[in-house]
Amino acid sequence: MSAAAPLLEVSNLCATFAGAGREVRAVRGASFTIEVGQTLGLIGESGSGKTVTGLAILRLLPAHASVSADRIAYRGENLAAMSDDEFRRLRGVELGMIFQDPAGSFNPAKRIGWHLREAIRRRGGEVERWEAEAGDMLREVGIRMPQRVLGAYPHQLSGGMLQRALIAMVFLLRPALIIADEPTTNLDNLVERQILALIRAHQAKVGAAILFVTHDLGIAGALCDRIAVMYAGEIVEIGPAAAVLERPLHPYAQGLLATSRSLERADAELHELPGEPGGVPPEQGCAFAPRCIHVMAACRERHPAMTEVEPGHGARCLLHER
Amino acid sequence: MSAEGMSAAAPLIAARDLVLDFHVKSAFGAAHGLRALDDVSLDVRPGEIVGLVGESGSGKTTLGKAILGAHRPGAGRILYRGTDIAALDGAGRRPFRREMQMVFQDPLSSFNPRFTIASSLALPLRLHRICPEDAIPATVAALLQRVGLRPEHAARYPHELSGGQLQRIAIARAISVTPSLIVADEAVSKLDVSVRAQVLNLLNRMNRETGVSLIFITHDLGVARFLCHRIAVMYFGRIVEIGPTAEIFANPRHPYTRSLLDARHGGSGHVATDADETALSIVDPARACNYAARCARRAPECLTARPRLDFDAAGHAAACFAPLPPASGESVT
């Protein structure tokens, strides 16, 4: 590994779904890098393309999706040039994924123990000692009676327990990069905080990098080093987490933050962002223009380019283009 | 009469000592009872927004549905302006139906996919004879306008609208029959951040303009703090703490409430493990605090007796033998 190469480099990633008579461009030219041990938060509302971005990197999109990119490189090696067989050797072991719905990640006919044993085998670990290692890992993710969980089938565990078991399975694979897609959205507040703490503790211990997909600004602020804000398939703002949350550049990010701040303050009237997310982005101009309070005539004609406003912090907005 | 009844306004709804059991069948046929509501009492005053918060499985939805009559409690009374409606059968309950409406979490599944919005909104107007037949289109248009939508949305089908728009229409449908109570069950949980604010502002405005009472069920304390006048914290079928919103946030007394509030403020790094009740010597679970297994402040009597909700002068109560000291000076906001 060369010192200069980031762990993951994504440049101009596009993902398009061909549907009945029309195309849906779910991801439109996303570019970002993740350094070793770093956490990048990908935040956005439903339909913004954040989940599809993660799935596209892992080649997990269905066949009717077409993915293109100028470059997807892992440790400097071009993933796009790899055959499916070669890529499969990387996925899971080097590139792990935690999904929102843990049940879908388990074989319902096999016990949790079987899954954890498979993870250790897949990694090339000592299969003879699997039970001890899996038990230790379950204890690490806050499961007090690992023996009971190892012997349980997925449907016998609660959502929170199953999410912990999934996280234990992914941790056992020791991936260098974990793509976590809203891993706590279906969980209660308390369990959510516990699981975020687990992810952080594990990251500090083994130095894994994380692409953390979420719609929750609070979580992104607590967990991430850098934040990318997605809107209508594009990254409209990217930068260090503190800078994005304290000095958002894009009117969309500013609106989201104003809303969550007014909720935190319990204002008498919450700050509203006009309009609705989703919908088909306009053919030309800025996708956020229809909802933007700073919209100018040029916004409906010219597509804004990503412009760096301060070091490492940029936005796609004509307000910031010079 | 409970201490809550001492307040000036007579309650709109007074649930008293509700007990509700579900019979759960395991995969192999062995049935066992699950106590979803365990001796729950709750008052809702006219024009009041009461938040029910707690984790999934704590009984907050069951309580809301029991008040609406969707679940019949095994014991206890539900007084609607003084009339016990818990014991009424379907026909007896009919006069009260218009008074109590519900808004669900998933707006798409709460509309008939084959009906236009106009048809869905016209149905309750007709059923409860809210307006003459020829005034229905105008009433529907006025309802849509009230929730910030345009009259042309009436011709659309549910799948043509976004989640936020549909949820606003669900609220329009609920208020169309001028109810005195709306039970909103996680009504903003599935909505995007930018749309959530729109719907919360709408619920707040409807409450102010029409004086409708709300039971607002949520697991999101931030949302509850914005909207609710009072908050009841539920844990495993019981209300463990209840009080004015500002009191609950500034001065939580129950250790469970405190841990919920702490969780909001993120990253303490402390990882609690799952409950291990077998390690505790609870002789009779019916005579122990149901939070004892997870509680850091557990005292010996927590395993042998049930703490009661005792209200103070401010209308704040915590069911705990070892409550947190009032106004500890530590800021939780």
pLDDT in tens, A242-270: 999 999 999 999 999 999 889 888 888 99
CB atoms A263 and B222 under 8 Å: yes
CB A221 within 8 A of CB A240: no
Is A70 in the B-facing interface, judged by CB distances under 8 Å?
Answer: no
Interface test with A, best of B274, B280, B332 (most A CBs within 10 A): B274
Contact B68/A at CB under 8 A: no
Confidence of residue A2 (pLDDT cuts 50, 70, 90): very low
Q: Does A140 touch chain B (CB under 8 A)?
A: no
Residue A1, domain member (yes or no): no
**Rounded-to-integer distance, Cα B163 and Cα B156, Å:** 14
Q: Are A217 and A292 in a shared domain?
A: yes
* Average pLDDT in chain A: 90
pLDDT of B275 reads 47
Flag whether pLDDT at B3 surpasses 50: no
Chain B positions in Cβ-Cβ contact with residue A278 (cut-off 8 Å): 162
Residues 6+ apart with CB under 8 A from B300: none
Domains in chain B: boundaries: 3-99+179-318
Give how far B200 is from chain A: nearest CA, Å.
8
Distance from the Cα of B201 to chain A's closest Cα (Å) equals 6
Share the mean pLDDT of chain B.
Answer: 87
The residues, any chain, with a CB within 8 Å of residue B207's CB and separated by 6 or more, are B47, B49, B213, B214
Where does the pLDDT of residue B281 fall: very low under 50, low under 70, confident under 90, or very high at 90 and above? low
Partner residue opposite B222 with nearest CB, options A45, A201, A264: A264
pLDDT at A3: 55
Residue B41's φ and ψ, nearest 5 degrees, are -125, 140
Cα–Cα distances in Å, from A78 out to A164, B9, B270? 32, 70, 40
Q: Are residues A53 and A77 located together in one domain of the fold?
A: yes
Same domain, A188 and A309: yes
> B270: which chain A residues are within 8 Å (Cβ-Cβ)?
197
Is residue B162 less than 8 Å (CB to CB) from chain A? yes
Nearest residue on chain A to B27, judged by CA atoms?
A156
In a domain, A2, yes or no: no
The answer to whether the beta carbons of residues A250 and A315 sit under 8 Å apart is yes
Q: Indicate if A219 and A310 belong to the same structural domain.
A: yes
Check A260 against B193: CB less than 8 A apart.
Answer: yes
Under a CB-based contact definition with an 8 Å cutoff, are residues B222 and A259 in contact? no
Kindly state whether residue A256 falls inside one of the protein's structural domains: yes
Domain boundary among A143, A173, A203: A173
Between chains, do A272 and B194 touch, taking CB under 8 Å as contact? yes
Q: Do A277 and B192 lie within an 8 Å CB cutoff?
A: yes
- On chain B, the residues whose CB falls within 8 A of the CB of A275 are 194
Does B105 touch chain A if contact means CB atoms closer than 8 Å? Answer: no
Determine contact: B225 vs chain A, CB below 8 A. Answer: yes
Least confident of A302-316, B215-229, B289-303: B289-303
- Identify the sign of the CA torsion B91, B93, B97, B103: negative
Q: Which of A155, A173, A191 is the last residue of a domain?
A: A173
Out of A32-46, A146-160, B10-24, B280-294, least confident range: B280-294
Pair (A222, A280) in one structural domain: yes
For B223, nearest residue in chain A (alpha carbons): A263
Do A198 and A245 belong together in one domain?
Answer: yes
Contact of A263 with chain B, judged by CB distance below 8 Å, is answered with yes
Separation CA B314–CA B12 (nearest Å) = 20
Residues A39 and A142 in one domain: no
Q: Locate A155 and state its tokens.
A: 């449907």
Residue A59 in any domain: the answer is yes
Range of the domain at A212: 8-94+175-320
A3 part of a folded domain: no
Q: Which CATH architecture has domain B3-99+179-318?
A: 3-Layer(aba) Sandwich (3.40)
Reported ipTM: 0.80
B221 contact residues in A (CB cutoff 8 A):
189
> Rounded mean pLDDT of A288-315?
95
Specify the pLDDT at position A4.
67
How many other CB atoms are there within 10 angstroms of residue A319's CB atom?
15
Chain segment B36-47, per-residue pLDDT in tens: 999 999 999 999
Q: Examine the fold and report which residue of A132, A149, A173 is the final residue of a domain before the chain moves on.
A: A173
Q: Cα separation of B198 and A45, whole Å?
A: 15
Q: Is residue A63 part of a domain?
A: yes
Enumerate the residues of chain B whose CB falls inside 8 A of the CB of residue A264.
222
Lowest model confidence (mean pLDDT) among A111-120, A200-209, B5-14, B213-222: B5-14
Contact state of A222 with B266 under an 8 Å Cβ cutoff: yes
Order of all β-strands in the sheet with B238-244: B100-103, B181-185, B213-218, B49-53, B230-235, B238-244, B317-318
A48 and A30 fall within a common domain = yes
Rounded to the nearest angstrom, the minimum Cα separation between B238 and chain A is 17
Instruction: Give me the CATH number covering residue A87.
Output: 3.40.50.300
- Is the pLDDT confidence value at B8 over 80? no
A-B C-beta contacts closer than 8 Å: 106
CA distance B163 to chain A (A): 9
Per-residue pLDDT reduced to its tens digit, B200-237: 999 999 999 999 999 999 988 989 999 999 999 999 89
Specify whether A242 is located in the same domain as A313. Answer: yes
Which residues in chain A touch residue B201, judged by CB atoms under 8 angstroms apart? 269-270, 272
Q: Give CA–CA dist B157/B115, Å, rounded.
A: 6
Say if the Cβ atoms of A278 and B263 lie within 8 Å: no
Q: How many domains does chain A have?
A: 2
Candidates B165, B226, B263; nearest CB to A190: B263
Q: Do A79 and A51 share a structural domain?
A: yes
Beta-strand (E) ranges in chain A?
Answer: 8-18, 23-34, 39-43, 65-68, 71-74, 77-78, 95-98, 177-181, 209-214, 226-231, 234-240, 306-310, 313-316
**How many angstroms away from the CA of B132 is the closest CA of chain A?**
34
Mutate to test the interface with B, among A153, A155, A190, A245 (most CBs of B within 10 A): A190
Looking at the structure, tell me whether residues A180 and A273 fall in a common domain: yes
Task: Kindly tell me if the per-residue pLDDT of B331 is higher than 70.
Answer: no
Secondary structure element (H or E) that encloses residue A203, with its range: helix A189-206
- Helix (H), strand (E), coil (C) string for chain B: CCHHHHCCCCCCEEEEEEEEEEEEECCCCCEEEEEEEEEEEEEECCCCEEEEECCCCCCHHHHHHHHHCCCCCCEEEEEECCEECCCCCHHHHHHHHCCEEEECCCCHHHCCCCCCHHHHHHHHHHHCCCCCHHHHHHHHHHHHHHCCCCHHHHHCCHHHCCHHHHHHHHHHHHHCCCCCEEEEECCCCCCCHHHHHHHHHHHHHHHHHHCCEEEEEECCHHHHHHHCCEEEEEECCEEEEEEEHHHHHHCCCCHHHHHHHHHHCCCCCCCCCCCCHHHCCCCCHHHCCCCHHHCCCCCHHHHCCCCCCCCCCCCCEECCCCCCCCCCCCCCC
Do A187 and A254 fall into the same domain? yes
What is d(CA B305, CA B288) in angstroms, rounded to the nearest whole number?
A: 5
pLDDT tens readout for residues B76-129:
999 999 999 998 888 888 889 999 999 998 889 999 999 999 999 999 999 999
CB-based contact, B159 to chain A, within 8 Å: no
A291, part of any domain = yes
Q: Does A196 touch chain B (CB under 8 A)?
A: yes
Q: By the 8 A CB rule, do B158 and B166 touch?
A: yes
| Residue A148 touches partner B, C-beta closer than 8 Å | no
